[in-house]
Amino acid sequence: MSFTTRCHMQLIKFLRKLKKRFIRYEPSVEVIISKEKLVSNLKEYQKQYPKLSFAPVLKSNAYGHGLVPVAKILEKENIAFFVVDSLYEAMVLRSEGIKSEVLIIGYVNSENIRNAKLSGIVFTVISLEQLQEIAKVKLPKLRIHLKIDTGMHRQGILLNQIEEAIKIIKTNTFIELKGICSHFADADSSGEMFTKLQIQQWEKAVNLFKNNFQTIKYYHLTNTAGIFYSHQAYCNVARLGIGLYGINTSSFVKLNLKPVLEIQSVISSIKVVPVGECVGYNATYKADKPIKVANVPVGFFEGVDIRLSSCGYFKVGGVDCPIVGRVSMNITSIDITSLPSVKLGDKVTVISSDSNDNNSVENIVRLTQTIPYEILVHIPQHLRRTVV
């Protein structure tokens, strides 16, 4: 076990002891994860695409939902393998007792590959240069998926490099090619032309590898939005990311998906702001009538997008309460004038799991003119994830 791995394991043990010491701690901000909705979303894809296996994507803290809690829920389901971005994420899963096969889809340098002693871990090779470097390591056994560049030109081996890649793998028998993969660049668009061009490139690559390797187990090209195209391409696994968490990014398919995540907080203070007075930094909001303002101990550090300043909403008692003034680092002010009975400690829904709510991820995306991934992955890791 490497020094880095030992340090990580010691840190995990320390954090577990710390957690036990503060077990009675009740946070003022909490991320609620619905087990039922998470499993339901997976089964919805399995029902709609019965010929595919699914690999849940857990990178970037499971899109903000919590790497370990999500893995513990889904490990009991029928999945192909988990997908993470880094060796660190794989280490965390193993340290928490997750036993499912894990594919690291991001770049890992050859030294870390050599030192990694985790079982059931598969590495993605993202370039010919990386493959050449790995061939020099000479491990007893190394299982890989090879990424093919079908047109996105971000990662992957180009089609004219495939013959060289095949030669390297065949020459270095310690390398076991378990899968090949690629990635759609534009599958969530209403236009199909670029995606179909990528599929053509993919099919050429698949034929080359099928003619040279009989034991490749996994062929995966599609992300969540790209699953719509799975019947047009040779693939047996789909990497299920944003759709798993209840957000449908496909322009063509409408599934019965349920947002998995909700963020809850509390009212931390209440005051009346007279007409003509301002709220928050830089006096960006001025009251045109007397209003009652409540403060909530969440801000852009806790994942409230600053672009929601004076245009977003939180919910209190099922009622939309407009954000007034700028979102601060750890505080957001809301107008509760219409709720005279609100008191200190009352629950506030910061991000709603109901797609129809103004503070759902989908509607936050509309207000901020961004993408759902950005909203979700900016929910910080330190916030407690509670599975219900």
* Residues designated as active site: 281
Cα separation, 79 vs 230, whole angstroms: 17
**Which backbone phi and psi does 313 adopt, to 5 degrees?**
-140, 145
Residue 206 in 3-state DSSP? helix
Residue 319 in 3-state DSSP? strand
* DSSP code at position 225: G
**Which backbone phi and psi does 68 adopt, to 5 degrees?**
-75, -45
Q: Is residue 99 a contact partner of residue 136, using CB atoms and an 8 Å limit?
A: no
Residue 267 in 3-state DSSP? coil
Q: Is residue 336 a contact partner of residue 342, using CB atoms and an 8 Å limit?
A: yes
What is the token pair recorded at 112? 């870390």
CA-angle at 241, arms to 382 and 109, nearest 5°: 75
Kindly write down the DSSP assignment for every residue of 248-299, as one continuous string: ---SS--------EEEEEE--EEEEE-TT-EESGGG-EE-SS-EEEEEES--
Q: Give burial (CB, 10 Å; 0-12/13-18/19+) of 138.
A: exposed
The DSSP H or E segment spanning 181 is strand 175-181
Residue 352 in 3-state DSSP? strand
CA-angle at 241, arms to 120 and 353, nearest 5°: 125
